[in-house]
């Protein structure tokens, strides 16, 4: 990804999708098509919504950011479930949790900025 064309939150979302993919590969084989696929798709949907939001008008951007927030919340739950089911080692869960927290802070900041500029009604 070309750094000069990217937003920091998109870089974090890319890292999150990348690390999720690496983690899912190590899941038990029978869980990869189920929860593993959901994790990968949710991480990619999060990244996609952020990328789209960058180019949308104010109202559409608000919708994309709200959807991104939903995907991030879902991803948090899927990661916790994977850890509780012992598909995801504690160390990897902690690493992904740090990335999720950072992404959440950045997303919250973007949403707050959008609200202040009149994007949220």
pLDDT score at 117: 80
What band does 1 get if pLDDT is binned at 50, 70 and 90?
Answer: very low
Choosing among 1.25.40, 1.20.1440, 1.10.357, 1.10.10, the CATH entry for 30-116 is: 1.20.1440
Residue 77 — pLDDT band, cuts 50, 70, 90?
very high
Q: How far apart are CA 26 and CA 62, in angstroms?
A: 36
Mean pLDDT computed over 13-26: 97
Per-residue confidence (pLDDT) for residue 5, from 0 to 100: 62
Domain range annotation of the chain: 30-116
Instruction: Write down the pLDDT at residue 115.
Output: 86
Q: In this structure, what DSSP letter does residue 57 have?
A: -
Residue 53 has pLDDT above 50, yes or no: yes
Q: Quick one: what percent of the chain has pLDDT higher than 70?
A: 93
Task: Please provide the average confidence, as pLDDT, over all residues in the chain.
Answer: 93
Structure tokens at 80: 């916790």
Of 64, 13, 66, which is closest to residue 42 (Cα–Cα)?
Answer: 13
Which three-class secondary structure state does DSSP give residue 6? coil
């Amino acid at each position: 990804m070309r750094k000069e064309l990217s937003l920091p939150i998109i870089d974090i979302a890319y890292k999150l999708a990348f690390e999720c993919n690496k983690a899912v590969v190590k899941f038990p084989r029978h869980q990869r098509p189920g929860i593993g696929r959901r994790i990968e798709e949710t991480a990619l949907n999060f990244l996609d919504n952020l990328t789209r939001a960058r180019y949308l008008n104010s109202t559409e951007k608000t919708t994309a950011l709200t959807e991104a927030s939903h995907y991030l919340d879902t991803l948090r739950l899927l990661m916790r479930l994977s850890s509780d089911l012992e598909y995801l080692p504690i160390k990897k869960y902690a690493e992904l949790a740090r990335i999720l927290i950072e992404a959440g802070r950045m997303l919250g900041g973007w949403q707050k900025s959008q609200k202040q500029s009149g994007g949220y009604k």
